[in-house]
Structure 1
């Protein structure tokens, strides 16, 4: 794989704008190359400079400094992509000897001259008082020199951008490390107070802050890294006369100025926090200690991940500068890479050691205080292994997919051979059995659409794992989702084949009890699998789904996060599935399933619940919007709540119109549905997708697009509008279609809504990803447990 493509894959997508624009620099080099190829006489008057001699094979890193364009053929094919990416790059690790650096001052600028006696100087690099680097190309008078001047100007812009961003992030992590150190001091004091309040203090693990030397005060630089507070000190034991390792504890008095502030995550904890806030004296319990330790552990893991990202960011950009300058030297036959890369190596980007130092200290701290000294366990938490692709998943997926297709064909053949479409029991089957199996079909279709979304998110590099908050290594890829969907389809088709009888037994005047219970047994099996406590069938994903469902059920009482309201949006597209669940209760509870008869649709109670279950998913979203409106004070959440309220009214009026025909209810259903459709469509396109921006670089789209074909967005907008009009079949009174029973028609309409939701999912998450990119947001914000109490009654971080 070429470096440019590998560079795109390895970069942190949320920081994409902060990386070197390698593609733009490469295009500029191609312009220089084309210009030189059009001037063959140029090389006759200006013979190329001989390249510097290659280092001997015994030198460190020899043979690893080839570029993929020119010297790539010389690289051994046995090197893997990862090895080729992380190999040493010339100019940064292999510093040329005999290249002294001279420094002088002129107009408050620092000029750096890099040259050998036998080499012609190509560039002059200077640094102004704002720490910005500027390169002067010394051969600009040559023909085509203006292109090289533009190249170095753009290179300087990218280099200064990278250095500024890296320095800014380093300052942020240093401040965060300082805060984590203070939080950890308080946590140790809390452990002492809760677990062993009468222990001998000199023997308990704690922290101390080394004194600050005068020279550090004068320089404005902290005496030690914030993580230096985690130190073990040796003291002379005057009693025994030997040197024993002891520890200086955190003073317990710090707890008098600290308040444990744990974000309420359940209605019960919310109530407890409200009650505890009224108490004059603060108490510390083991449950609070446990929760504080969990939050601190998560904060350290996220902080360590940020350090790893910064280290990768630094290395990849250094590699990009090395690659692009070697390309420049190859095209122009100059020796500009050595001085420029020497500048990169001596810049803040190349000399900063804060990240490496902090990483080692975080590792030691986490292992000591959160992994009970177990190095393997601690590093497993800090560096979770990436998910490995398993061939058996592909094999099982192919097998189940083939079985589901074969069973579907078998059902079609059986229906044709038995001529079941003209059977007398056809209507009875469609009214009683078909709604039971349609539930599984709608869920399987939704899984298929979600698998397609995951595939295209991965292709477009949408960081859906970070957006949804999946733990590394636990997220389901498109193959795993397809595996679940195909398995569900196989179970459904097997049930249909076993329960495809249309006529009752003439002797008993009823159907077989075993076959009639197949749909209910299938529902029970799937429910058991969903709540299975054993670590089988993607337990972490199942529990994540159950937790989000539970949050939706109690949505006003939980803090709203993206996975919760995203799932609630999915549920709004499964209204027919909710109604099928209601039919299960009525059919097997009060109906005569042995004779395939029921009076559900004639019951007033059933009709009321028929409306309620259709409204419940929209109520989830309405309640979530109200919660966010109260917390965030953003009027957009209020408008979103009004959107779902209009949808609730439209769904209820359309359902009532099915039972009560007449001009009045027709007018109400058509009017409310039209208002809800316009409201929802505009919100989808403008807010959720971020489109319909007339002043954008891409008219009526966004400034940034992940799909290279703009027509895809316009097609998606048109399809979204058309599929949202599927409700018109209810208002227009379309009861049946050619070759389709009315129950089948309802299932088709519900399937169209699921298809629309699948399309919506992709563009909704694309917009969320681009918002994260615009804000360089690549990490989860973990709330810290301790806050310092101020005299005025307020609180702030420790």
Structure 2
């Protein structure tokens, strides 16, 4: 593998612009070689001056890159010191609280009234169980925080290695192209003496983090500790088992899809009654779930390929999360079950099986696959989905994070699926000949707004997002964007209400009421314009009319990024093709107004409404698939602006009075002095005199900022190894 591809595959996406611009420097070398004066028509002095001028420009650019890397490394190193001090303090605080809780429990036992109607032992036992449960949660949070901190250290260590290798490669290429040794001299004199390469504090922090985690959190079990701290591979590794099943299920789906079409032609005479449309509705909801799952697998592949860190954005475990191979495997597996159920349904009159059995069995299997408690069938991914679905349903009771509102947005595109599930329950409870006599067609209630249940179900996805926006406003007190976004989803309530009114009026009178129809049409136009503008400007961050000069665009040269002037786009984009963005804008605009086509076909009687719903629901899922690419790209670029590559997990709350102090500590790495003893002991975190002075000025009892002086070191001593 060429180094450029290796660098692009192994960089931390959020730090992309902070790496050495290897491709840009390589292009400089090749361009200079192409533009060099020809030896047969130029004298040696002209050629010498040309290469001398280029070397000055090239090494000036290399020095700028070196300064950029040194500065960024120093900032991240200071941040690592600050996080390590906080983590260590929180660990000591957890240990001290456990001791205090134990002493408090003993005192409570002694002071329990002898004439209490409850035995003292039961009271103490209950309190002890609560104390142990709180301590267990604290230790679990600490383990997670330590693992994330350890991952950030490995990423910074990888940052050191990749940049040094990049400099070594490009300087070696310089000497090879121009037959010189000035590149080697620059590497020896500049690069090998640069702080980002000579500083070994990250290696020591990694060692101390490992030792502390093993001794304090895993009771000396090194194997178990290192398994938890294990850093995942930077490139997804496909499992042979996953590959086999994905190929097997995809082939099965392809074969059975052709079989379904052929079988439907020959057995259609057995399905000419009105129930055919009902079963199409039931199967459609399950198909939409399968279709969206498969497209999410494609989404994940694209995010991974172009460096969008979806693992961080979705707050997944970087050591154990579902890959795009596994998502596609799940989608093809569920599609195989769905196709088998459809074939069984088509053959049901021939083999003498009731038609309602197959759709119900398929739906029951889907529910069992999602909610079964067995630690298999992608258990962690299913648990993640169930947990966030619960948070969505109970909104606005919980704080809202990106996975919450992203998943709720997916449900908004699956509103047809929710209505189909409502129809399924209604059909099997009220219309199927199980417990009651089948009703006449004119008295059927399934698929009608007559009883109000369907209206509520149609509003549920918009309500989830509306409630989340209110919760975010309650948390941040920001009218824009949260209340403005809530207004966007409130337009759905108006549209659904008017749509139900139009449907009921036609159902009762046999024709449309024109004023009501006009109100519905205007509400749809308002809602579509509102949502479209929000998609393009807020969710995707597009429609930027700021300009950038061509020279600044050409000199950007960041690894994999693209700074240029893009009409109606943003200055920075992740995906290489500009046509992709313009296609996403056009298709999103058209599909946001697809209801116009639905209205024209339904009122004019050009197409069956159920068939039209099938087409438009599939197109809406595809629109959400495209929306996912640009929405996560926008979130990823926000993380890049903050250089945030790992989850920030804090155990102890940060007081406002300490914010300025910690920022100063992060900016000045000399303020934090750590011991370098071979037998490192947890708790021996030491600070310089400047840090101790600032801590003394804070006048706080917060244990997370207590200073602990190590034995054998006077207050005036400082470690000369720290930079």
Counterpart residue number, 1:184: 91
| Unmatched tracts of structure 1, length 5 or more | 47-138, 200-282, 506-510
Counterpart residue number, 1:392: 241
Q: C-alpha separation between the residues in 2 aligned to 1:774 and 1:347?
A: 25
- On the 8 A contact 1:789/1:795 being kept in 2, the answer is no
Counterpart residue number, 2:122: none
Counterpart residue number, 2:694: none
Counterpart residue number, 1:450: 296
In terms of mean alpha carbon deviation, does 683-692 or 337-346 score higher? 337-346
In terms of mean alpha carbon deviation, does 381-390 or 715-724 score higher? 381-390
Q: C-alpha separation between the residues in 1 aligned to 2:648 and 2:283?
A: 43
- On the 8 A contact 1:318/1:344 being kept in 2, the answer is yes
1:143 has 2:50 as partner: yes
1:170 has 2:77 as partner: yes
- On the 8 A contact 1:474/1:541 being kept in 2, the answer is no
Q: Larger Rg: 1 or 2?
A: 1
**TM-score, normalization: structure 1?**
0.72
1:374 has 2:221 as partner: yes
CA RMSD of aligned residues (A): 2.9
In the TM superposition, 1:248-397 aligns within 5 A as 285-342=131-188, 343-386=190-233, 388-397=237-246
Counterpart residue number, 1:671: 522
In the TM superposition, 1:400-419 aligns within 5 A as 400-418=249-267
Change (3 A) 1:604 1:12: closer
**Counterpart selection for 1:720 from 576, 580, 588:** 588
- On the 8 A contact 1:13/1:461 being kept in 2, the answer is yes
Counterpart residue number, 1:12: 12
1:471 has 2:317 as partner: yes
Q: CA deviation at 1:388?
A: 3.9
Counterpart residue number, 1:35: 35
Secondary structure, counterpart of 2:593 in structure 1: helix
In terms of mean alpha carbon deviation, does 740-749 or 658-667 score higher? 740-749
- On the 8 A contact 1:737/1:745 being kept in 2, the answer is no
Q: C-alpha separation between the residues in 2 aligned to 1:6 and 1:596?
A: 66
Secondary structure, counterpart of 1:601 in structure 2: coil
- On the 8 A contact 1:475/1:541 being kept in 2, the answer is yes
**Corresponding residue pairs, total:** 612
Q: CA deviation at 1:513?
A: 6.1
Counterpart residue number, 2:473: 629
Counterpart residue number, 1:706: 574
Q: C-alpha separation between the residues in 1 aligned to 2:630 and 2:142?
A: 35
Counterpart residue number, 1:249: none
Q: C-alpha separation between the residues in 1 aligned to 2:645 and 2:425?
A: 45
- On the 8 A contact 1:14/1:777 being kept in 2, the answer is yes
Secondary structure, counterpart of 1:543 in structure 2: helix
Secondary structure, counterpart of 2:74 in structure 1: helix
Secondary structure, counterpart of 1:20 in structure 2: coil
Structure (1 or 2) with the greater helix fraction: 2
**TM-score, normalization: structure 2?**
0.79
Q: C-alpha separation between the residues in 2 aligned to 1:45 and 1:733?
A: 79
Change (3 A) 1:644 1:169: same
| Unmatched tracts of structure 2, length 5 or more | 107-128, 506-511, 548-564, 658-697, 706-723
- On the 8 A contact 1:429/1:502 being kept in 2, the answer is no
Secondary structure, counterpart of 1:641 in structure 2: helix
1:782 has 2:649 as partner: yes
In the TM superposition, 1:474-623 aligns within 5 A as 474-500=320-346, 514-593=354-433, 599-601=443-445, 607-623=451-467
Counterpart residue number, 1:114: none
**Counterpart selection for 1:745 from 586, 606, 612:** 612
Change (3 A) 1:441 1:39: same
Q: Which has the higher relative contact order, 1 or 2, with Cα contacts under 8 A spaced 6 or more apart?
A: 2
Q: CA deviation at 1:141?
A: 7.1
Change (3 A) 1:361 1:600: farther
In the TM superposition, 1:149-228 aligns within 5 A as 149-195=56-102
Q: C-alpha separation between the residues in 2 aligned to 1:658 and 1:306?
A: 57
